[in-house]
Amino acid sequence: MDQPGERRSHAVSTPRGGGIAIVVALLVACAALAIRLPDQAWMLVAFAVGLVLVAGAGWLDDHRPTSPWVRLGVHALAAAVFAAAVQYAYADPWLAGAAFVLAIGLVNVWNFMDGINGLAATQAALVSLALAAVMSGTWAGVALALAAACLGFLPFNFPKAVIFLGDVGSGSLGFALAAITIMATATQSIAWPLLLLPLSAFLIDAGLTLLMRMHRGERWWTAHVQHSYQVWVRGGATHTRVTFAYMAWTLLSVALMLGLRAASPLFMLCGVMAWYTSGAFIWWLLRRAAAQRGLRGN
């Protein structure tokens, strides 16, 4: 059970760990795709092994809190398994390195950002649908399976939560999105800078909040309620309003991604940088408004 507290954004004891259903759905999809498309079996097996490692660490933490460094070690192992498969398949150390970094990064970003009803699952669904729209073949199928699993989970988590994703779900969502993003890059489905756009809502909030806490000298690896979505809720906004606001931002980012597909590399890069700059400015405005209301994060 996830109990309410000063480092939580809910007021009622709620069971957690419901994200294991998403993990099971993805594993079933991977098995079906591997049987149908055996040429992609090794990549799918590596993805499934990494997913099970991340989910297993999260499942254990949901039931008996473990050291964040132990969890990070498991995340690194899962990322290494998938990165090794990428290196074997494409013989590209830069792509393999990106797979390792992105997998660890998104596992923890989705874990950080899973704090209010529907937020993590809706963002994962939108990002995976955006990736499926620009891909084809096996990994488009994985992306669609992820979106379907998230949409199947949402009625139990939004607008009112009767169960939470838990670490087993949030970390697995991040790992799956990292893998699909890397495969979109590997297959050259779309220029890689554009793939950063659908992820921007979470990357901006999680990244800037982390930098802020590090600058303050805080124990940045511990639980907190300083992300902008949490500050917004503590200021009186409902979970539904905040989740829809993040959805709107991501839908706009997907539209921008699709609109920039035919642009020149320079214009494309400028567009991505301008989008992230705008997001950082909105993040700052939200925190400034909270400070003026005396709602500085603890």
Q: For residue 9, tell me if it sits in a domain.
A: no
- Kindly indicate the confidence band of residue 296, based on its pLDDT and cuts at 50, 70 and 90: very low
- Kindly indicate the confidence band of residue 189, based on its pLDDT and cuts at 50, 70 and 90: confident
Higher model confidence: residue 159 or residue 198? 198
pLDDT of residue 8: 52
Q: List 164's β-bridge partners, or say none.
A: 16
Question: pTM for the full model?
Answer: 0.91
Q: For residue 242, tell me if it sits in a domain.
A: yes
* Residue with tokens 């992230």, as numbered in its chain: 276
Q: For residue 266, tell me if it sits in a domain.
A: yes
Residue 132 CA to residue 243 CA, distance in Å, equals 22
Q: For residue 5, tell me if it sits in a domain.
A: no
Q: For residue 43, tell me if it sits in a domain.
A: yes
Task: Supply the range of the domain harboring residue 157.
Answer: 20-292
DSSP assignment, residue 38? G
Q: For residue 15, tell me if it sits in a domain.
A: no
Q: For residue 120, tell me if it sits in a domain.
A: yes
Q: What integer is the mean pLDDT of 35-55?
A: 93
pLDDT of residue 66: 84
Q: What is the dihedral of CA 112, 55, 16, 205, to 10 degrees?
A: 10
Q: What are phi and psi of 82, to 5 degrees?
A: -70, -40
pLDDT of residue 266: 94
Whether the per-residue pLDDT at 243 is higher than 60: the answer is yes
260-283 pLDDT per residue, tens:
998 999 999 999 999 999 999 999
Q: For residue 14, tell me if it sits in a domain.
A: no
Contact 57, 68 (CB under 8 A): no
**What's the structural domain count of the chain?**
1
